[in-house]
Structure 1
Amino acid sequence: MAFAEKNLTVRPPIDVEGRRIKRYHVTADPAGIEPEVEDAAHRFLPQLLRTLPEPDGTPPGGFLVLHRGGDDGAYLNVYSWVWDNVLHFAGGAAGQPVLGCPDRDPARFVRLDRSLIGCVWELPPIAHERDAWVRHMLAAPAPDLDGYLADTLRAPTTGTTGPVRPGTRQPHG
């Protein structure tokens, strides 16, 4: 089976449903994710955020990974911090009938009802986000949601080996 890393792009954070969400895009296409797929994912995002537990005082932060597959598929993984140190997941898919999508349209998202948290190209941001949450929210003298939102995995591909620090180059596969 052939394997190739994919492009990883960080988009500016957005505010949705009272939550501040970092955004990562994953795609093999150097041009990025099509605007209509990104727009459809953003329209679907509130539905996924409504699956969160009731607010409990945890600062309302999280991140998403929007992945455009090599076929018709598009995947929206939304991760939100709850109960101070727990990562909640909700996912959507489009264009992938095997996952319950009605057709092959990569802009028609449906809620995933399976216990899938991400594929190999979608997992690198999770490792970074865990460390960023600890740095800015749990180990800091005071929680710093703005600092957390500014701390993103900035690497050209999903083949990262750890967080990128300002002024350093990230090795990749």
Structure 2
Amino acid sequence: MTPSPIFSNPLPLPTEPYRPRRTEWLGVTERAGWRLKLIAIAAGSELPGDAETEAALEAAERDLPQPARSGTRLGAGFLVLHRGTEALWVLVCWWEADILYERLWRADLGTTNLRPVPPEGPTACVWELQAIDHERRAWIRYVLERPATPDLSGYLTSGPVAERTAS
């Protein structure tokens, strides 16, 4: 039996080999009634700075539903600020019960002119997915496993494990 061409050796991807990126938890901030965890990722040595963080928080204010707390919302979410190789990416994420909502924003490198990414655009890269995975696990541990007494403080103070670049 001849192997299907689908299972033959794939073409090489037009990308560099995977390397961890600097990822740091920047703490929690309050905005528009929401408590938001801030996670920064850098393709190079510089994490997103204050101007980029402020632009991300302004984008979040436009996306986050109001009121922050409702029957299905605890007013908690997170922002991923990723200074990548081609753009500044901002993921605005919030929890409603067991569902994660996300909006993606993009700015050209060196600017803070964030624009929404259209629905047919990307969702997240492998480095951002690492942060999302941590947030999923923390939400389960501190909130969903204890619905009668959710530990929102525990969730908000659980920073992701940093993935460090090799020096």
User: How would you bin the TM-score normalised by the shorter chain?
Assistant: 0.7 to 0.9
Match for residue 91 of structure 1?
A: 104
Count of aligned residue pairs for this structure pair: 149
Alignment of 1:59-74 (within 5 A): 59-71=74-86, 73-74=87-88
RMSD (CA atoms): 2.5
**What's the offset of the Cα at 1:27?**
0.4
Identity of aligned residues (%): 27
Match for residue 55 of structure 2?
A: 40
Contact 2:33–2:68, Cα closer than 8 Å, also in 1: no
Does residue 9 of structure 1 match 2:24? yes
Distance 1:61 1:110 in 2: 23
User: Which among 107, 118, 123 is matched to residue 117 of structure 1?
Assistant: 123
Contact 1:52–1:88, Cα closer than 8 Å, also in 2: no
Does residue 55 of structure 1 match 2:70? yes
**Cα distance, 1:118–1:51 mapped onto 2, change above 3 Å:** farther
Distance 2:23 2:138 in 1: 17
- Over residues 85-127 of structure 1, what are the superposed CA-to-partner deviations in whole Å (9 max), with x where a residue is unaligned? 00011111111xxxxxxxx653101122225321111100111
Q: Secondary structure at the match of 1:128?
A: helix
Contact 2:28–2:38, Cα closer than 8 Å, also in 1: yes
**What's the offset of the Cα at 1:52?**
9.2
Q: Secondary structure at the match of 2:136?
A: helix
**What's the offset of the Cα at 1:51?**
8.7
Match for residue 107 of structure 1?
A: 112
Match for residue 91 of structure 2?
A: 77
**What's the offset of the Cα at 1:46?**
0.6
Q: Secondary structure at the match of 1:127?
A: helix
**What's the offset of the Cα at 1:54?**
8.7
Match for residue 138 of structure 1?
A: 144
TM-score when scaled to structure 1?
Answer: 0.76
104-113 vs 3-12, which moves further? 104-113
Unaligned runs of 5+ in 1: 96-103, 159-171
Distance 2:134 2:110 in 1: 31
Distance 1:89 1:121 in 2: 16
**What's the offset of the Cα at 1:12?**
1.1
Distance 2:163 2:110 in 1: 27
Distance 1:154 1:121 in 2: 12
Q: What letter corresponds to residue 153 of structure 2 in structure 1?
A: D
Structure with bigger gyration radius: 2
